[in-house]
Amino acid sequence: MPTAMFRRSAKPLSGRYLSLTEREEIALLLVQGHGVCSIARRLGRAASTISREIRRNAATRSGNFEYRATTAQWHAERAGLRPKVAKLAANDTLRHWVEDRLSGAVAKPDDAPVTGPTVSWKGRRHGPRQNRRWSKAWSPEQIASRLHIDFPDDDSMRISHEAIYQALFVQGRGALRRELSACLRSGRALRVPRARIGQRGKGFVSPEIMISERPAEADDRAVPGHWEGDLILGLGSSAIGTLVERTTRFTMLLHLPRMEGHGAGPGVKNGPALAGHGAEAVRNAITRTIVTLPEELRRSITWDQGAEMAQHARLTVDAGVEVYFCDPQSPWQRGTNENTNGLLRQYFPKGTDLSMHSADTLAAVAATLNGRPRKTLGWKTPAEALDQCLEQIDRQRVATTG
């Protein structure tokens, strides 16, 4: 490599990238016989970073595999020049293969195409959720991984899943037609950064009422009285509230009827939640239901960060139960409740109007569920487990007063 071709970057590199000084250190340590892991520890870098650096940027012109700092720096700066021609734009065969796995037609066993609903591209989404475009709809990760199997000896047929996402979403790198984003299972035309997921918390949720602050006794289910709650939604914004006790798996259902005036006209911004599952309606339903239990069985409720729990502070006062919230996008933190909601879908299927069920009907379904023997309870029913807890509470009260 001619010396004149090497020049230092005008813009200093961030700590994310290896510097010339680090490359000089790598070259020196390699000559001294140090291995990749040893070099990584000395530089405070990942071993994969050092291994990739040596593999990509070593000098090979002499026929030998030698690592020189200045040559490696030149290779790195050349590779970092922008803009680059996107790989999908330069490789027609690869682009057509990727497009076919994204938007290829669904076919019968005899290869006859099956036409799904006609969904026009509106520039930002696929239209109403019930009108989804039918296609093969492979995910970018599936496409990128399958290339290694279908083209094991063709290095030109390689692309990362991130490059496919960028070709769909990033302006200026659109080697794929933008409307193909409708073939992704999410159907999004705009990408949601992962970093934003942790910022989706509600304004009424403060750190001291997060699930991490919940008493340890709730985690091991040793002490009854800790509940998990949620809403199951149906057609027309109808809903039923669910409460499940963590120790006994006892279930209570909250009747949330629609309010007067629902469907009579267009909704009013910041007006009352006429669908029946607004913050006030949910608070009243929980209070009305849970106060029927003794105080020892009203220790805490864990909920997701839905707006229906905006009045949690007043609920704590009215019902005497502490409220804790799960982290955003973390339904597994209420696993008992999520499992119970799945069981309830046998009686309240998705896509049906849940407002048609009366309070008596909900009580009957809850009694049916609480009468099923559970393996986790030693084949006792949740109702029997709760009765044992109530008997134990009564004995403790007698012993205390006696």
CB 127 within 8 A of CB 119: yes
Banded model confidence at residue 6, pLDDT cuts 50, 70, 90: very low
| Interhelix angle 382-401/359-370, nearest 10 degrees | 90
Q: Pick the closest to residue 256 from 202, 308, 291, 313 (CA basis).
A: 308
Mean pLDDT confidence for 387-399: 87
- pLDDT of 253-288, one tens digit each? 999 998 776 666 666 666 667 778 888 999 999 999
* Percent of the chain topping pLDDT 90: 39
- The whole-angstrom separation of Cα 100 and Cα 109 is 18
Banded model confidence at residue 1, pLDDT cuts 50, 70, 90: very low
| Interhelix angle 47-57/69-79, nearest 10 degrees | 90
| Interhelix angle 279-290/312-319, nearest 10 degrees | 20
Q: How far is CA 85 from CA 91, 163, 174, in A?
A: 10, 12, 11
Q: Give 1 or 85, the one with higher predicted confidence.
A: 85
- pLDDT of 158-186, one tens digit each? 999 888 888 877 755 556 766 676 677 66
* pLDDT at position 266: 66
CB 389 within 8 A of CB 250: no
Q: Give 137 or 194, the one with higher predicted confidence.
A: 137
Which residue type does 273 have? Answer: A
On average, the pLDDT of the chain sits at 82
Residues 6+ apart with CB under 8 A from 135: 102, 103, 104, 105, 106, 116, 183
Banded model confidence at residue 126, pLDDT cuts 50, 70, 90: very low
Q: Which two tokens stand for residue 401?
A: 């007063």
Other beta carbons within 10 Å of 238? 23
Exposed/middle/buried for 70, CB within 10 Å: 0-12, 13-18, 19+?
A: middle
Asked if pLDDT for residue 3 goes beyond 50, the answer is no
- The whole-angstrom separation of Cα 101 and Cα 140 is 9
Mean pLDDT confidence for 296-319: 92
- pLDDT of 64-79, one tens digit each? 778 989 989 988 888 8
* pLDDT at position 96: 87
Residue 224, preceding bond cis, omega within 30 degrees?
A: no
- The whole-angstrom separation of Cα 57 and Cα 400 is 77
CB 30 within 8 A of CB 50: no
CB 94 within 8 A of CB 156: yes
Q: Pick the closest to residue 245 from 360, 131, 149, 388 (CA basis).
A: 388
- pLDDT of 308-350, one tens digit each? 999 999 999 999 999 999 988 888 999 999 999 999 998 998 8
Question: For strand 300-303 and strand 322-325, is the pairing parallel, antiparallel, or unpaired?
Answer: parallel
- The whole-angstrom separation of Cα 80 and Cα 165 is 20
Q: Give 243 or 118, the one with higher predicted confidence.
A: 243
Dihedral pair phi/psi, residue 317, rounded to 5°: -70, -45
Partners of 231 in beta bridges: 241
Mean pLDDT confidence for 371-379: 90
pTM as predicted: 0.55
CB 225 within 8 A of CB 347: no
